[in-house]
Amino acid sequence: MYKGIFWIVDEENLHNNDRYLIKIETDRKGTILDYDLPLNSRNGDNYAHKETWKILPYELSRNKPFNYFPRGRVEIRNGKCTIFLNPSINKEEIVEYLKEQFELNDFDLIRIVADHSNHYKARLGK
């Protein structure tokens, strides 16, 4: 299972978003087991969207700002899983795609938070 951050740049073909899923392998409690990029969140246990976007290859970032596309985060803490996301991508098919890609099937309950704050606001008109 994984926690981490994501952007949804293609709602028509969800697997076109696979390269925008930046994952950290964890156990069920949220203990980090493995990761590829340097952890750059404020508390050092996850990725930050803005900092991670800066190191993505141009073919992914497309010279857009980090907050152009709708985005979100998967958190795993103390045996509980929460998906925070821009409300425009809080759709059943997208949530199911995220559950599959972050391998969250061990959780009976996953809390979904459609975050209307500026934190997950996207410039792409959403």
Per-domain residue ranges of the chain: 2-120
Mean pLDDT taken over the chain: 94
Compute the distance between CA of residue 31 and CA of residue 60 in angstroms, rounded to an integer. Answer: 29
pLDDT, one tens digit per residue, over 17-58 is 999 999 999 999 999 999 988 899 988 999 999 999 999 999
- Which is more confident, 124 or 40? 40
Q: What are phi and psi of 106, to 5 degrees?
A: -75, -15
In sequence order, which residues have a C-beta less than 8 Å from that of residue 74 and are 6 or more positions away? Answer: 2, 3, 4, 5, 6, 81, 82, 83, 84, 98, 102, 104
Whole-structure pTM value: 0.93
What pLDDT, on the 0 to 100 scale, is given for residue 121?
81
Please, which pLDDT band fits residue 124 given cuts at 50, 70 and 90?
A: low
pLDDT, one tens digit per residue, over 90-102 is 999 999 999 999 9
72 close to 85: Cβ distance less than 8 angstroms = yes
Decide if pLDDT at 2 tops 90.
Answer: yes
In sequence order, which residues have a C-beta less than 8 Å from that of residue 124 and are 6 or more positions away? Answer: 68, 69, 70
